[in-house]
Amino acid sequence: MDAETTALVLVDPYNDFLARTGQAWMMTRDVVLSNGMIGKAQSILEAARRRGMTVAYAPHHRWRPNGLKGRKYLHPTQFMQDKSHIFAEGKFGGRFIAELAPADGDVMSSEHLCSSGFEGTDLHTQLQGRGITHLVIIGMITNSCIEATARSAVDLGYHVTLVTDAVAAFSPNEHDLAIRETYPRIGHVVTDTSGLLETLRS
């Protein structure tokens, strides 16, 4: 894995998903805890930094007053966000969990409105400007924003690695179905944290 052309992309590592006081914790905790997802994602992040890889963040749209005003058709997740104020800008839930926080020099893309970290954002432009051809994608949610971001990445011509235990979903069934049935049809490489760390060490 060439550090110069590979980026680690973290999708939506928000406190509202991953912190025990986050709004969505009751929905995500089973898979987050059973996977040891936060610790594994952190170990990947640290390994990527040691290798000198580009680290990029693909954040979901943060809630703001009237932030979705003028959008004619709200997706169910957008409707829920508008009502619950999940990922509120400037609030605890709308900040990244400390273990996966960005550092100086990381790529921070503009916010995606629905699922894909590429759609309507500057993520592709920023990655292309750094000569990135390969992506490792981790974060939240297994079968939603991770899957959508990976599909977009493949469509854009990137080589994509998906990491089955550095992601989590709202239920074990959703998570297991995605990593078993869907990920092998999207990613060029599907591995777990142990396998990825071994690759990064080689």
Write the pLDDT tens digit of every residue in 118-145: 999 999 999 999 999 999 999 999 999 9
Q: What are the tokens at 25?
A: 């914790």
Beta bridge partners of 135: 7, 160
Q: What is the pLDDT, as a whole number, of residue 61?
A: 87
- Residue 111 near residue 61 (C-beta atoms within 8 A): yes
Residue 68, Ramachandran bin (φ over 0: left; ψ between -120 and 50: alpha; else beta): alpha
Q: Using DSSP, how many helices (H) and how many strands (E) does the chain show?
A: 8, 6
Hey, what are 115's tokens?
Answer: 């699922």
Tell me the C-alpha distance between 134 and 53, whole Å.
11
How, if at all, do strands 134-140 and 6-11 pair?
A: parallel
**Options 1.10.132.20, 1.10.10.10, 3.40.50.150, 3.40.50.850; which CATH number does 6-201 get?**
3.40.50.850
Alpha-helical runs (H) found in 52-100: 76-84
Among 45-49, 52-56, 71-75, where is mean pLDDT lowest? 71-75
Say how far apart CA 84 and CA 151 lie, in whole Å.
Answer: 28
Answer whether 105's CB lies under 8 Å from 27's CB: no
CA distance 55 to 48: 7
> Rounded to two decimals, what is the model's pTM?
0.93
Q: Which distant-in-sequence residues (6+ apart) come within 8 Å of 47 by Cβ?
A: 196, 197, 200, 201
- 62-115 pLDDT, tens digit per residue, is 877 876 667 667 677 765 766 666 778 899 999 999 999 999 999 999 998 888
Q: 81: burial class by Cβ within 10 Å (0-12, 13-18, 19+)?
A: buried
165 vs 75, more confident: 165
d(CA 38, CA 71): 33
Q: Are 114 and 151 in contact (CB under 8 A)?
A: no
Q: Where are the domains of the chain?
A: 6-201
